[in-house]
Amino acid sequence: MASTSVPLTLPVLPLDDEVVLPGMVVPLELSNPEVRAAVEAARAGSSGGKPQVLLVPRLDGSYAAVGALATVEQVGRLADGDPAALVRAVRRVRIGAGTTGPGAALWVETTAFKESDRGLPVAGRAAELVKEYKALSTQWLRRRGAWQIVDRVAAIEDVGELADNIGYAPFATAEQKLKVLLEADGPARLEYALGLLREHLAEEEVNDSIRKDVEEGVAKQQKEFLLRRQLEAVRKELAELNGEADTEEEDYRARVEAAALPEKVREAALKEVDKLERASDQSPEGSWIRTWLDTVLELPWNERSEDAYDIAGARAVLDADHTGLADVKDRIVEYLAVRKRRADRGLGQIGGRRGGAVLALVGPPGVGKTSLGESVAKAMGRSFVRVALGGVRDEAEIRGHRRTYVGSIPGRIVRAVKEAGTMNPVVLLDEIDKVGSDYRGDPAAALLEVLDPAQNHTFRDHYLEVELDLSDVVFLATANVLEAIPEPLLDRMDLVRLDGYTEDEKVAIARDHLLPRQLAKAGLGGGELTVDEEALRRLAAEYTREAGVRNLERSIARILRKVAAQAELGERELPAAVGADDLRALLGRPHHVPEAAQEPAERRTAVPGVATGLAVTGAGGDVLYIEASLADAETGSTGLTLTGQLGDVMKESAHIALSYLRSRGAELELPVTGLRERGIHLHVPAGAVPKDGPSAGITMTTALASLLSGRKVRTDVAMTGEVSLTGRVLPIGGVKQKLLAADRAGVTTVIIPKRNEADLDDVPAEVLERLSVHPVSDVREVLRLALEPAEVLVAAA
């Protein structure tokens, strides 16, 4: 390093609003152009050794007369990746005139800065200042936890160097540090730094005193709170002695003790009352506890309706409210009969459970699933509550919200029991197949405990957090699509299928229930209008085609509205009667005309390659037409084309049907040899509706056989069944619904698998009388029954 007495020419590194004193080591970011230029110039002008720069404070835009000569110790990057240089301030120098040098930095000439006490022994006043400064510095550093720096400060003996150590103090301003930089006298510099340190320590003592006062104030508030609570307790005692009214908290305690709550519920409620008495009036916890206590006290813990054990009377109520639906009526009567026999013999609960029923009513829309719940409750003499589950996606809707959430409430099950006012209501869980799931949980999974007879006697709602006995509740769940109900949930319920009504049942329902209700709604009473039975039968057969009776009721309502309007306009005199011949004038042409009633040339099966199948949809059973066509050999198209939004299983059935016919062509006398050069197109109309399932297998086989043989499929024949590669007809589901659909469509002959013959027991007798049902086990039997004989074709030709 050059001598301190020799003038030096150094690049200027300006420090805006910052002062670096000798002995300090600081990093400087090279993102500043002036800093970068000075460092680069110093490195370029260095002839050996470490590059040197002049650190000059620049306050309010003006440069100081004295700077710090510094060496560039290292150039690299900071922890955040920005480039920086590490510089060490060595000594003070005076700044002279500007000059030139390498790089874009400003170069100046410097002269030595003489310090009066440099190198002199420390004695007298200076020694006292050193001792006091070290003591105060140690005190300040210990407060900050900087124990390593304490030893370094204690080892400094030079007065000026000790004073320059104030440059590291964050409480010293740039102006104060500049004053230390400009001071040449070491003791004076140390005395000034000592004053800054004394002032800062005094300020910290004041802050500590304020903080201590705040803490004491908080402790005083807590003490005041406790004393106020004690005062309230004393006032309660005085109120009791004087016979005065109780406070709100005491009122809750009295209500809990007076209520006939189960033992565990009573203990939980008293704990919450204790918390309420300890909580302040301003605490939000108080309102949460009050809401919880109100909910618990409003629940009918020991209220139960007496079951109507008049079994015959209960059956009469069910028969009066609903026509048909024998299965569900039998199930309710069985439940009541068992309850009655247990009550007569004095048999109590079984393992803490009272044996409530859980029934799943599955069927198409409009068959009376929802209204059946009210009839069941009336027949049993119980309260009825309906819980709509369609579109519910939050698990908390079933189990409730935790009380920690703002606005938390119990789940729908607890609210239903509360609304019913008894612990044994009939609860209808409507549209259980339309429950969804998302990030908020799966409500269907939360229903598992609710609908499990082995678990629901200890149902625990998240809001209540006490056990609620649901074992005496009769749960009725309704659904349109059985497959949409999760299997674990369905396993906990007794399944009762409502497959739809026959035409006779629809007429009876319309006569006994729908027509009287709609007459009252239309204001046509006192025998002003009658609708004869033949008109109702035609409405059910030709103007509606459904498993239920909703559209039938709408058609009746439309007739009554038109008659009421005509009466008000003077176009019709009342009383009046509506017959079958009046329907076209009131409702227009029929919407559903059976194929058998159409002209032979207009029927779908009037050409070869069209067969009538039977299917089950969400709206019940329905007929399904399958069409097949053969491409011209000249087009060059080959293979099998499938259209109509068919699912994978249905597509596989088409391939199986074609493979079977190809393998048995000679046996069946079908020209299958030319299929290699000609493509087959199989289409299922109503292309906008997705379709799937194996039950159209024999229908596809019949359509293809009709196409290849040129023999038409009989108009009065419909069929259902799965086909195998060997030509076996395999069993399918939904036989009752499919036969009801065939009856509605005017079909007279139905082909079903032989192994489904036992399912005919579920089909109403009047439907079986109108249908000729043929159970088959082989495709050859199907073709024999479904295709018109070859001799008929010859005669027609």
User: Binding site annotation covers 616?
Assistant: no
Question: Are both 644 and 696 inside the same structural domain?
Answer: yes
Q: Return the residue matching tokens 């159970």.
A: 775
Distance, CA of 44 to CA of 53 (rounded, Å): 11
**Is residue 709 annotated as part of the catalytic site, yes or no?**
no
Q: If you search the block for the tokens 């200076």, which residue do you land on?
A: 126
User: Between residues 409 and 499, which one has the greater pLDDT?
Assistant: 409
pLDDT for 636 beyond 60? no
Of 223-227, 740-744, 770-774, highest mean pLDDT: 770-774
> Total domain count for the chain?
6
For the ranges 131-135, 247-251, 487-491, the lowest mean pLDDT is seen at 247-251
Q: Which of 166, 201, 236 is the last residue of a domain?
A: 201
pLDDT band at 354, cuts 50/70/90? low
Highest mean predicted confidence (pLDDT) among 13-27, 44-58, 684-698: 13-27
Within-domain flag for 336: yes
Write out the two tokens for 172: 């010293």
695 is known as an active-site residue: yes
Rounded to an integer, what distance in angstroms lies between the CA atom of residue 16 and that of residue 174?
Answer: 9
CATH label of the domain that carries residue 363: 3.40.50.300
> Is 285 found in the same domain as 334?
no
Q: Are residues 132 and 275 in the same domain?
A: no
Stretch 60-86: mean pLDDT: 88
Cα dist from 637 to 198, 626, 683, 742, whole Å: 102, 21, 16, 36
Query: Residues 6 or more apart from 621 whose CB is under 8 A from it?
Result: 499, 500, 547, 614, 615, 734, 736, 737, 738, 739, 740, 741, 742
Residues 349 and 474 in one domain: yes
Identity of residue 268: A
pLDDT-derived band at 68 (thresholds 50, 70, 90) equals: very high
DSSP secondary structure letter of residue 603: S
Confidence of residue 792 (pLDDT cuts 50, 70, 90): very low
- Judge contact between 713 and 611, C-beta under 8 A: yes
In this structure, the answer to whether residues 448 and 549 fall within a common structural domain is no
pLDDT at 352 over 60: no
For 1, 67, 629, 681, 685, the CA distances from 644, given in Å and listed in that order, are 94, 91, 14, 11, 6
Shared-domain flag, residues 671 and 788: yes
Query: Which tops the pLDDT comparison, 231 or 430?
Result: 430
776 within some domain: yes
For the stretch 298-315, pLDDT in tens is 999 888 888 777 888 888
Which CATH number characterizes residue 14's domain? Answer: 2.30.130.40
User: Encoding tokens for residue 658?
Assistant: 């074609």
3-state secondary structure 543-559: HCCCCCCHHHHHHHHHH
CB 600 within 8 A of CB 723: no
| pLDDT the model gives residue 363 | 86
Distances (CA, A) of 696 to 47, 536, 540, 578: 98, 33, 27, 41
Report if residue 657 sits inside a domain: yes
Residue 796 has pLDDT above 50, yes or no: no
368 is in an annotated binding site: yes
Q: Which residue among 559, 587, 615 closes a domain? A: 587
Question: What DSSP string describes 627-683?
Answer: EEEE--GGG---SEEEESSB-HHHHHHHHHHHHHHHHTHHHHT---GGGGTS-EEEE
Q: What pLDDT sits at residue 235?
A: 61
Asked whether residue 239 is domain-assigned, the answer is no
* 105/135 same-domain check: no
In a shared domain, residues 84 and 153:
no
CA distances from 12 to 61, 87, 268, 430, 701 (A): 15, 13, 78, 85, 98
Instruction: Determine whether the annotation assigns residue 81 to a binding site.
Output: no
* pLDDT band at 383; cut points 50, 70, 90: very high
Answer yes or no: is pLDDT of 758 > 70: yes
Q: How far apart, in whole angstroms, are the C-alpha atoms of residue 564 and residue 571?
A: 10
Secondary structure class of 224 (helix, strand, coil)? helix
Q: Which domain holds residue 155?
A: 125-201
Closest CA to 449 of 477, 489, 478, 486: 489
Same domain (yes/no): 90, 148? no
Was 22 annotated as part of a binding site?
Answer: no
Per-residue pLDDT band at 724 (split at 50, 70, 90): very high
Question: What pLDDT was estimated at residue 349?
Answer: 59
Check residue 797 and give its pLDDT: 37
Domain shared by 483 and 619, yes or no? no
Over residues 602-630, the mean pLDDT reads 83
Residues 397 and 381 both lie in one domain:
yes
In a domain, 229, yes or no: no
Structural domain contains residue 288:
yes
369 in a labelled binding site: yes
Residue 562 has pLDDT above 80, yes or no: yes
> Between 240 and 698, whose confidence is greater?
698
Q: Tokens in use for 240?
A: 């009791």
What integer pLDDT is reported at residue 413 of this predicted model? 92
- Average pLDDT over all residues of the chain: 84
> Phi and psi (nearest 5°) for 574?
-110, 150
Residue 552 burial (C-beta neighbours within 10 Å; 0-12, 13-18, 19+):
buried
Overall average pLDDT of the 200-229 stretch: 82
Q: Rounded distance, CA 324 to CA 382, Å? A: 22
Q: Looking at the predicted structure, is the pLDDT value of residue 119 above 80?
A: no
**Residue 421, annotated as binding a ligand:** no
Q: Is 219 inside a domain boundary?
A: no
- How many alpha carbons fall within 13 Å on the CB side of residue 323? 17
Instruction: Using the 3D structure, point to which of 587, 621, 644 is the last residue of a domain.
Output: 587
Lowest-pLDDT range, 621-635, 699-713, 722-736?
A: 621-635
User: Which range has highest mean pLDDT (103-117, 759-773, 781-795)?
Assistant: 759-773
In a domain, 377, yes or no: yes
**pLDDT for 701:** 93
Q: Which of 695, 709, 712, 736 is catalytic?
A: 695
> What are 29's strand-pairing partners?
84
Which pLDDT band, with edges at 50, 70 and 90, does 671 fall under? Answer: confident
Radius of gyration, alpha carbons of the chain? 48
State the pLDDT at residue 355: 66
Does 367 appear as a known binding residue?
A: yes
More confident residue, 82 or 346: 82
- The partner residues of 362 in beta bridges, in order of sequence, read 479, 497
366 is an annotated ligand-binding site residue: yes
pLDDT for 623: 87
160: CATH: 1.20.58
Statement: residue 774 has pLDDT above 90: yes
State whether 755 and 693 are in the same domain.
Answer: yes
- Residue 746: what pLDDT? 82
Rounded to an integer, the average pLDDT of 678-695 is 84
